[in-house]
């Protein structure tokens, strides 16, 4: 991206990445932020920091889902209201909370990107992450298997689509390809 285009977005442009666990929000977000020279905010990481470094699974077990979701809404609002250019990776369930959904949809000068992949691809990625069961809670009480991914994804996909400006298929593409596609979107804003 040329300097003249970058100067146009110095007032606080945001790229907001949303989608299910395993869709690559954090990985893609870090890569895009680095390529653009922007700040990167992973809302799950901010929440973990605010709970003293506890894993999300531990936060859920010790404080409950409600406490986690309340903090999530607060963190999403702060990220969307933040000054300067930033790439924001939301937690998989963030936009399911009205306050977070409203903050994301109402964020000015933002491109909201839903990173989409089939349940089978997401499950394969999640199951390949050896830390996932330790750090992420089951959302249905059925464990973190393919059935849970299918069930939760089916409940969320409509909201993901409603909260996004564009859908990027991340089932097969490489990191560089996805990153370049997202970076290309800011020039269309």
Residues comprising the binding site for ATP? Answer: 22-27, 136
Residues contacting residue 105 through CB under 8 Å, at least 6 positions apart: 112, 162, 163
Q: Is 40 helix (H, G, I), strand (E, B) or coil?
A: strand
Residues contacting residue 32 through CB under 8 Å, at least 6 positions apart: 15, 38, 87, 179, 182, 183
Binding site, by residue number, is 22-27, 44, 69, 92, 136, 156
Polymer length of the chain? 189
CA-based nearest residue to 134, from 59, 49, 47, 52 = 59
Report the DSSP pairing between strands 39-42 and 86-89: parallel
CA distance 24 to 125: 9
Residue 148, CB-side half-sphere exposure with 13 Å CA sphere: 17
Binding site for Mg(2+), by residue number, is 26
CA-based nearest residue to 119, from 148, 149, 141, 142 = 149
Binding site for substrate, by residue number, is 44, 69, 92, 156
CA dihedral 57→58→64→65, nearest 10 degrees, is -20
């Amino acid at each position: 991206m040329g300097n003249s285009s970058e100067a146009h977005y110095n007032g606080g442009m945001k790229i907001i990445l949303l989608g299910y666990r395993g869709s690559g929000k954090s990985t893609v977000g870090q890569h895009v932020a680095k390529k653009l020279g922007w700040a990167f905010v992973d809302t799950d990481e901010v929440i973990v920091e605010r709970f003293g470094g506890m894993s999300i699974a531990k936060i859920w077990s010790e404080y409950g889902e409600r406490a986690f979701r309340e903090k999530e809404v607060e963190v999403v609002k702060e990220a969307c209201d933040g000054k300067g250019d930033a790439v924001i990776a939301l937690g998989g369930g963030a936009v399911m909370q009205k306050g977070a959904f409203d903050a994301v949809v109402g964020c000015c000068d933002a491109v909201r990107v839903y990173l989409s992949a089939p349940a089978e691809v997401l499950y394969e990625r999640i199951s390949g992450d050896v830390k996932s069961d330790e750090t992420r809670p089951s959302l249905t009480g059925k464990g973190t298997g393919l059935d849970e991914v299918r069930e939760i994804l089916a409940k969320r996909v409509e909201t993901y689509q409603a909260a996004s400006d564009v859908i990027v298929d991340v089932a097969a593409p490489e990191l560089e390809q996805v990153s370049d596609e997202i970076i290309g979107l800011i020039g269309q804003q």
